Amino acid sequence: MHEQYQPREIEAAAQSHWEAQKSFEVSEQPGKDTFYCLSMFPYPSGKLHMGHVRNYTIGDVIARYQRMLGKNVLQPMGWDAFGMPAENAAMKNQVAPAKWTYENIQYMKTQLKSLGLAVDWTREVTTCKPDYYRWEQWLFTRLYKKGVIYRKNGTVNWDPVDQTVLANEQVIDGRGWRSGALIEKREIPMYYFKITAYADELLESLDDLPGWPEQVKTMQRNWIGKSRGMEIGFPYDVASIGSEGVMKVFTTRPDTLMGATYVAVAAEHPLATLAAQGNPELQAFIDECKRGGVAEADIATQEKKGLATALRVQHPLTGELLPVWVANYVLMGYGEGAVMAVPAHDERDFEFASKYGLPIKPVVRTSAGDETPAPWQDAYGEHGELINSGAFDGLDFDGALDAMEVALQKKGLGQARTQFRLRDWGISRQRYWGCPIPIIHCEACGDVPVPENQLPVVLPEDVVPDGAGSPLAKMPEFYDCSCPSCGKPARRETDTMDTFVESSWYFARYASPNYEQGMVDPKAANHWLPVDQYIGGIEHAILHLLYARFFHKLMRDEGLVSSNEPFKNLLTQGMVVAETYYRTLPNGGKDWFNPADVEVERDAKAKVIGAKLKSDGLPVEIGGTEKMSKSKNNGVDPQAMIDAYGADTCRLFMMFASPPDMSCEWSDAGIEGANRFLRRVWRLAHAHVSAGLPGALDLAALSDEQKAIRRATHLAIRQASIDVGQHHKFNTAIAQVMTLMNVLEKAPTASEQDRALLQEGLEAVALLLAPITPHICHELWQQLGKAGSVIDAAWPTVDETALVQDNLTLVVQVNGKLRGQIEVPASASREEVEAAARANENVVRFTEGQTIRKVIVVPGKLVNIVAN
Q: State the SS3 of 766-797.
A: HHHHCCCCHHHHHHHHHHCCCCCCHHHCCCCC
Q: Confirm or reject binding of residue 753 to ligand ANZ (CB under 6 A).
A: no
- Between 275 and 442, whose beta carbon lies closer to Zn ion? 442
DSSP state of 194: -
The helix (H) or strand (E) run that includes residue 733 is helix 730-746
| Least distance (Å) between residue 327 CB and ligand ANZ | 9
User: From the list Zn ion, ligand ANZ, none, which binds 342 (C-beta under 5 to 8 Å, kind-based)?
Assistant: ligand ANZ
Q: What angle do CA 840, 843, 847 make, to 5 degrees?
A: 145
Question: Residues 158, 159, 164, 166: is their CA dihedral positive or negative?
Answer: negative
Q: Between residues 339 and 765, which has the closer beta carbon with respect to ligand ANZ?
A: 339
Rounded CA separation 213/542 (Å): 12
The helix (H) or strand (E) run that includes residue 841 is: helix 841-846
Contact segment (CB under 5 A) with Zn ion among 126-134, 137-145, 213-221, 442-450 equals 442-450
Asked if residue 667 binds Zn ion (CB under 5 A), the reply is: no
Contact region with ligand ANZ (CB under 6 A), list: 246-254, 451-459, 531-539, 714-722 = 246-254
Q: Note whether 442 binds Zn ion by CB under 5 A.
A: yes
d(CA 233, CA 229): 13
**For ligand ANZ, the closer CB: 352 or 581:** 352
The reply to whether 330 sits near ligand ANZ by the rule CB under 6 A is: yes
Which of ligand ANZ, Zn ion, none is residue 150 near (CB under 5 to 8 Å by kind)? none
Binding mask 404-433 for ligand ANZ (x = CB under 6 A): ---------------x-x------------
324 is an interface residue for ligand ANZ by CB under 6 A: no
Least gap, CB of 345 to ligand ANZ (angstroms):
3
Report the partner that residue 444 touches, choosing among ligand ANZ, Zn ion, none (CB closer than 5 to 8 A by kind): Zn ion
Among ligand ANZ, Zn ion, none, the one that 126 touches (CB under a kind-dependent 5 to 8 A) is none
Burial per residue of 184-195, b for 16 or more beta-carbon CB atoms within 10 angstroms, e otherwise: ebbeeebbbbbb
Given the complex with ligand ANZ, which of 272 and 554 has the nearer CB atom?
272
Instruction: Count the site residues for ligand ANZ by CB under 6 A.
Output: 18
Of the residues 485, 625, 667, 807, which one makes contact with Zn ion according to CB under 5 A:
485
Stretch that binds ligand ANZ, among 327-335, 435-443, 704-712, 814-822 (CB under 6 A): 327-335
CB closer to ligand ANZ out of 256 and 309 = 256
Q: What is the DSSP string of 670-719?
A: HHHHHHHHHHHHHHHHHHHHHT-------GGG--HHHHHHHHHHHHHHHH
Per the CB < 8 A criterion, the answer to whether 299 and 331 are in contact is yes
Q: How many CB atoms lie within 10 A of CB 641?
A: 20
Q: How far is the C-alpha of 441 from the C-alpha of 493, rounded, in Å?
A: 7
Pick from ligand ANZ, Zn ion, none: which does 251 bind, CB < 5 to 8 A by kind?
Answer: ligand ANZ
Whether residue 59 contacts residue 535, with contact meaning beta carbons closer than 8 Å, is answered with yes
Q: Which is nearer to ligand ANZ, 343 or 566 (CB)?
A: 343
Q: Does 223 bind ligand ANZ (CB under 6 A)?
A: no
Instruction: Rule CB under 6 A: choose which of 123, 345, 509, 688 binds ligand ANZ.
Output: 345
Q: From the CB of residue 568, how many other CB atoms can be counted at a distance below 10 Å?
A: 18
C-alpha span between 121 and 134 (Å, rounded): 21
The answer to the question of residue 451 lying near Zn ion (CB under 5 A) is: no
Which CB atom, from 107 or from 376, has the smaller least distance to ligand ANZ?
376
- 273 or 639, CB closer to ligand ANZ? 273
Selected range binding ligand ANZ among 328-336, 450-458, 486-494, 666-674, rule: CB under 6 A: 328-336
Which of 26, 781, 771, 139 shows the shortest CA–CA distance to 504? 139
CB 325, CB 262: distance < 8 Å: yes
Cα angle 637, 638, 642 (rounded to 5 degrees) comes to 130
The letter for the amino acid at 333 is: G
Among 167, 368, 445, 538, binds Zn ion (CB under 5 A): 445
Q: Is 256 in the site for ligand ANZ (CB under 6 A)?
A: yes
Nearer to ligand ANZ, 80 or 336 (CB): 336
Q: Is 248 annotated as a binding residue?
A: no
Separation of alpha carbons 581 and 317, rounded Å: 65
CA distances from 217 to 409, 538, 556, 568 (A): 36, 12, 21, 13
Interaction between residue 246 and ligand ANZ (CB under 6 A): no
Q: Is 483 in the site for Zn ion (CB under 5 A)?
A: yes
Considering the complex, what minimum distance in angstroms separates the CB of residue 140 from Zn ion?
19
Q: How far is CA 19 from CA 14, 23, 113, in A?
A: 9, 7, 10
Please report, for residues 102, 436, 580, 645, 661, the alpha-carbon distance to residue 431 in angstroms, rounded to integers and kept in the order given.
19, 10, 37, 42, 36
Alpha-carbon gap, residue 394 to 791, rounded angstroms = 72
- Contact call for residue 250 and ligand ANZ (CB under 6 A): yes
Selected from 62, 342, 472, 833, the binder of ligand ANZ by CB under 6 A is 342
User: How many angstroms separate the CA atoms of 699 and 361, rounded?
Assistant: 86
Spatial separation of the C-alpha atoms in residues 145 and 447, rounded to whole Å: 11
Q: Considering only 93-101, 335-343, 735-743, 793-801, which stretch makes contact with ligand ANZ by CB under 6 A?
A: 335-343
End-to-end CA distance of the chain: 61
**Binder of residue 445, out of ligand ANZ, Zn ion, none (CB less than 5 to 8 A by kind):** Zn ion
Among residues 334, 356, 376, 397, the one that binds ligand ANZ under rule CB under 6 A = 334
Query: What SS3 state is found at 444?
Result: coil
Among 252, 279, 377, 639, binds ligand ANZ (CB under 6 A): 252
CB of 445 to Zn ion, least distance (A): 3
Q: Is residue 481 a contact residue for Zn ion (CB under 5 A)? A: no
Instruction: Select from ligand ANZ, Zn ion, none the partner in contact with residue 818, using the beta carbon and a kind-dependent cut-off of 5 to 8 Å.
Output: none
289 forms part of the interface with ligand ANZ (CB under 6 A): no
267 binds ligand ANZ (CB under 6 A): no
Report if residue 444 touches Zn ion, rule: CB under 5 A: yes
d(CA 128, CA 813): 71
Binding-site member from 486, 609, 693, 856 for Zn ion (CB under 5 A): 486
Q: Which entry of ligand ANZ, Zn ion, none binds 106, CB below 5 to 8 A by partner kind?
A: none
Find the binder of ligand ANZ among 335, 362, 456, 536 (CB under 6 A).
335
Give the Cα separation of 85 and 75 in Å (integer). Answer: 27
- Quote the strand ranges of 180-281, DSSP E: 184-193, 226-235, 246-251, 262-265
Q: How far is Cα of residue 299 from the mean position of the Cα atoms in its chain?
A: 26
**Shortest spacing between CB 298 and ligand ANZ, in angstroms:** 14
Residue 337 near which of ligand ANZ, Zn ion, none (CB within 5-8 Å, type-dependent): ligand ANZ
Pairing between β-strand 807-814 and β-strand 862-867 as defined by DSSP bridges: parallel
Q: Which CB atom, from 74 or from 264, has the smaller least distance to ligand ANZ?
A: 264
Tell me: does residue 340 bind ligand ANZ (CB under 6 A): yes
Task: Report the nearest approach of ligand ANZ to the CB of residue 335 (Å).
Answer: 3
330 binds, among ligand ANZ, Zn ion, none (CB under 5 to 8 A by kind): ligand ANZ
Q: Where are the beta strands (DSSP E) in 526-661?
A: 533-537, 570-573, 576-584, 590-593, 598-602, 608-613, 621-627
Q: Which residues bind ligand ANZ (CB under 6 A)?
A: 227, 250-253, 256, 330-331, 334-335, 337, 339-340, 342, 345-346, 419, 421
Residue set of the binding site for ATP: 630
Residue set of the binding site: 630
Q: Which residues bind Zn ion (CB under 5 A)?
A: 442, 444-445, 483, 485-486
